[in-house]
Amino acid sequence: MSGSEEWDENYRQRGRLWTGGVTGIPPLPPEGSILELGCGNAKTIAAVEGDARRITGIDISRHALALARAAVPQATFCQADARNLPFRDGTFFAVIAYHITGHLTAAGRAVLAAEALRVLASGGVLFVREFSTGDFRCGKGTETESMTFRRGTGIYTHYFTPDELEALFAPARLISLESRGWVMRIRGKDYPREVIDAVFRRE
Ligand SMILES: C[S@@+](CC[C@H](N)C(=O)[O-])C[C@H]1O[C@@H](n2cnc3c(N)ncnc32)[C@H](O)[C@@H]1O
């Protein structure tokens, strides 16, 4: 589901898929290495303040990684599946997972969560951002699993409830969880968007 072929094809045809600013990036630990899962064209990494040399981005799409390397040459990028990370246990002080977990099956989401926590150092923080069931796209397209919809691009998206997101990343300790909405205007019409931002700490 949402394998590298679909993502590669989207990046190949459309170039940088993710543009504009990234709002609400929380304060990251001042030192130590940071990993972003599913970094895409490095929109989030480009918005992180400070020395990008401590950041590693992984993505399943090699086309995305070429765009990411061009955007933030100081960071390290490698092609990898977030369900099978090529890093030792406890390598990173922070892991960012923005809009990747929701592009996996239920089984894949559980594996990603275990991998994200495995590579996180004890006391390290995990930042998760996903679309919620309050987003206007929830329900649009073909439902492939409960609350997971495939749209014309071939990409699948799962829409979360807050409880579901919290449960997925247990046993990490939940530090904060917030639903945040805004309005997106498309061809003169307003549509509600909604994400859940969650922060966890590995004990
Ligand atoms: C919606 S984009 C988000 C990009 C970026 N995190 C952002 O917020 O701008 C999802 C990204 O996850 C990547 N992806 C999807 N499944 C993946 C997997 N199993 N392992 C690694 N990356 C994956 C896709 O190639 C895509 O670049």
Strand 173-186 with 156-158, pairing: unpaired
Structure tokens of 15? 């170039």
Binned average pLDDT, 10 residues per bin, the chain of 203 residues: 76 80 77 94 90 94 94 96 98 96 97 98 96 97 96 90 97 95 92 96 94
- Give the pLDDT score at 1: 45
Is residue 24 domain-resident? Answer: no
User: Distance between CA atoms of 131 and 179, rounded to whole angstroms?
Assistant: 9
Q: Which of 22, 41, 60, 87 to mutate to test the pocket of ligand 1 (most atoms within 8 A of CB)?
A: 60
Spatial contact of 69 and 9, defined as CB atoms under 8 Å apart = no
Whether 25 maps to a domain, the answer reads no
Ligand 1 mutation pick, 72, 81, 103, 157, max ligand atoms within 8 A of CB: 103
Spatial strand order in the sheet of 156-158: 142-145, 148-150, 156-158
How many domains are there within the chain? 1
Has residue 197 been placed in a domain? yes
Inter-axis angle of helices 62-71 and 4-14, to 10 degrees? 50
pTM > 0.75: yes or no = yes
pLDDT at residue number 9: 87
Structural domain for 124, as ranges: 4-18+30-201
Q: Does the residue 185 lie in any domain?
A: yes
Nearest CA owner, ligand 1 atom 27: 40
- In what order do the strands lie in the sheet containing 189-201? 76-79, 55-59, 34-37, 92-98, 120-131, 189-201, 173-186
- Is residue 23 one of the residues assigned to a domain? no
Q: What are phi and psi of 180, to 5 degrees?
A: -135, 125
Closest approach atom of ligand 1 to CA 18: 9
Classify residue 134: in a domain, yes or no.
yes
Phi, psi of 78 (to 5 degrees): -150, 150
Query: Is residue 52 domain-resident?
Result: yes
Whether 186 contacts 132, CB under 8 Å: no
d(CA 156, CA 145): 10
Q: What pLDDT is attached to residue 189?
A: 93
* CATH number of residue 38's parent domain: 3.40.50.150
DSSP code of 75? S
Q: Residues for the chain: how many in total?
A: 203
Strands 55-59 and 76-79: parallel
Query: What separation in Å is there between the alpha carbon of 125 and the centre of ligand 1?
Result: 19
Q: Do the beta carbons of residue 170 and residue 14 sit within 8 Å?
A: no
Distance from Cα 155 to the centre of ligand 1, integer Å = 11
- Rounded to whole angstroms, how far apart are CA atoms 86 and 171? 22
In a domain, 195, yes or no: yes
Q: From CA 80, how far away is CA 15, in angstroms rounded?
A: 20
